Amino acid sequence: MKKKLLWALALTASCLAQAQTLRIGLAEDPDVLDPTMARSFVGRIVFSSLCDKLFDLDEKLNTVPQLVTSHQWSPDNKALTMKLRSGVTFHDGEKFDAAAVKFNIERHKNMAGSNRRGELAPVTSVDVVDSMTARINLSAPFSPLLTVLADRAGMMVSPKAAQSNPTNFGTRPVCSGPFKFSERVAQDRIVLERYADYWDKSKIHFDKIIYLPIVDATVRLANLRSGQLDLIERVAPSDVASIKKDKKLALSRITELGYQGITINTRKTADGKNPLAQDRRIREAFELSLDRAGIVQVAMDGEAAPGNQWVAPDNNFYAKNVPIPKRDIPRAKALLKEAGVTNPSFTLMTPTTSDAQRVAQVVQSMAKEAGFDVKIQSTEFATSLNLADKGQFDAYVLAWSGRADPDGNLFSFYGCKQPLNYSGECNPLWDDLLNRSRNTLDTAGRIKVFATLAAEAAKEIPIVYLYHRNWLWAYNQKLTGFKPIPDGLLRVQGLKM
């Protein structure tokens, strides 16, 4: 009897030791947890644990299989046939198959309010070749398709769950990732529990993940140091030195694919009150009032690369014909005089995150020297996105996390009536260039198209690009298996305490 009791106690202790929770500090509270509707970067971090995709990205940004085991292009590059992974189930026990792929792609394309619509615009139909083979048909060759399917447009949700809860699916999402949804308390926590039937379960070493939105980077770090968190994203650059000295913590960094910029409401709403929308010379004056290198040093402690386009200057697709403009206060003042305005005033909406706040304050100070009166409007992130959707802003400090293909940084922002086109610009020439960049399969040809588009965008300036951040992660040094990838997302496969 005594031996049995000791054995039971040992087994209980062993189970408790193995039952581990990973606590992650996020810089914002994600928006809706529905991959068709979602827009926020932090939402993508949560989705990495919740929703597997058809493809994924590795450290070198190569597309690698996830729910697809192999794929083949048609000779005319207008159809992609995919063999699907067998033995995969959704969190409600439903089987993942070609019919599920067809349902999800069509949902992304056709659901009202979908933010994946632009990403999948060239897709005309999806065929169920057999139960484990799906074919995506295109209206024309589409260079970015694999990278598009390595993000939210490639995430698969349970058709049964989505159909049974069409309006509120995002409140209780059902996917096929390593963790399943448990609960969410807005602005407080998102809890995911390990999915016992995950197809790649040998790489999962936690029983629960708790995501905690903590806007203040200093507070996030304090929680990490106290042991309340195991890992935090978007460390404040000013904290890097102290983290390096802390023997209990580890730091990882990698340059992002996206950008930090200021989106200007040029045509989203024409109320005549926004001076930046009235004359492109005022927008050029605003841009010339800014010192990008100075912003990087003051707001980011050097943890970013200055830039003026949707990709960083060291990217192969960077348009060298449109270099970074230097700060020129005399020229900025002259442009304002030409435009017939003095001391133009506008409101700069910014999320409440620490880095966005610093950027807004530095921009406010710099622009003042050229005569601009910039008023800062601090807004909770999800609310700021909703205001941007409605065009209820003058200018908006908006960070875009970026995509492996430049198209992901461009099409939805510059295409006519696309879901992330917050500036409201609609230019048939731009649409033509965007479509040509998608239909051109050779890199050299695409570089030429992007060069033309960069020159066109520089004339209108709907977005003032500022810099490209370093993704900064800090975590308990006992946590192993962390792999920094330029998309800034956290893959939980292989993570172990």
pLDDT in tens, 436-477: 999 998 999 999 999 999 999 999 999 999 999 999 999 999
pLDDT above 60: residue 12: no
pLDDT above 80: residue 376: yes
In the block, residue with structure tokens 């009166």: 373
pLDDT above 50: residue 313: yes
Selection from 303, 221, 324 nearest residue 254 by Cα: 303
Q: What is the pLDDT of residue 417?
A: 87
Mean pLDDT of 338-349: 96
Could you give the percent of the chain with pLDDT greater than 90? 92
pLDDT above 80: residue 14: no
CA distances from 227 to 222, 333, 477, 491 (A): 9, 52, 11, 21
pLDDT tens-digit series, residues 153-169: 999 999 999 999 999 99
Per the structure block, which two tokens stand in for 163?
């159909």
Round to whole Å and give the CA distance between 156 and 119.
15
Selection from 95, 96, 97, 179 nearest residue 130 by Cα: 97
Helix ranges (H only) for 168-209 are: none
Round to whole Å and give the CA distance between 68 and 155.
11
Domains of the chain, residue spans = 51-159, 259-470
* Contact (CB, 8 A) for 446 and 440: yes
pLDDT above 50: residue 9: no
Q: What is the pLDDT of residue 271?
A: 73
Q: Give the pairing of strands 463-476 and 249-255.
A: antiparallel
Mean pLDDT of 260-289: 94
Residue 20, number of CB atoms within 10 A of its CB: 14
The DSSP line for 373-430 is: EEEEEEE-HHHHHHHHHHT--SEEEEEE---SSGGGGTHHHHSTT-TT-TT----HHH
pLDDT above 70: residue 45: yes
User: What is the length of the chain?
Assistant: 497
* Contact (CB, 8 A) for 235 and 221: yes
Mean pLDDT of the chain: 94
pLDDT above 90: residue 11: no
User: Class for domain 259-470, per CATH?
Assistant: alpha beta
pLDDT above 60: residue 122: yes
Q: What is the pLDDT of residue 272?
A: 73
Round to whole Å and give the CA distance between 84 and 73.
15
pLDDT above 50: residue 15: no
Mean pLDDT of 106-121: 94
List b or e across 335-353, with b for residues whose CB sees 16 or more CB atoms inside 10 angstroms.
bbeebebeebebbbbbbbb
Q: Indicate left, alpha or beta for 113 from its phi (over 0: left) and psi (-120 to 50: alpha).
A: left
Secondary structure class of 97 (helix, strand, coil): coil
Cα dihedral across residues 30, 296, 453, 386: positive or negative: positive
Output phi, psi for 268, to 5 deg.
Answer: -65, -45
The DSSP line for 67-84 is: SEEEEEE-TTS-EEEEEE
Round to whole Å and give the CA distance between 141 and 75.
10
Q: What is the pLDDT of residue 419?
A: 87
Mean pLDDT of 137-149: 97
In the block, residue with structure tokens 């402690």: 301
| CATH code reported for the domain at 51-159 | 3.90.76.10
Output phi, psi for 368, to 5 deg.
Answer: -60, -35
CA angle 216, 220, 222 (to 5 degrees): 115
Round to whole Å and give the CA distance between 442 and 446.
6
Selection from 387, 23, 71 nearest residue 207 by Cα: 23
Percent helix, strand and coil across the chain, each to the nearest 5 = 35, 25, 40
Mean pLDDT of 275-301: 97
pLDDT top residue among 37 and 2 = 37
Per-residue pLDDT band at 349 (split at 50, 70, 90): very high
Q: What is the pLDDT of residue 237?
A: 94
Output phi, psi for 87, to 5 deg.
Answer: 80, 10
pLDDT above 60: residue 4: no
Per-residue pLDDT band at 13 (split at 50, 70, 90): very low
CA distances from 382 to 51, 94, 379 (A): 21, 32, 8
Per-residue pLDDT band at 18 (split at 50, 70, 90): low
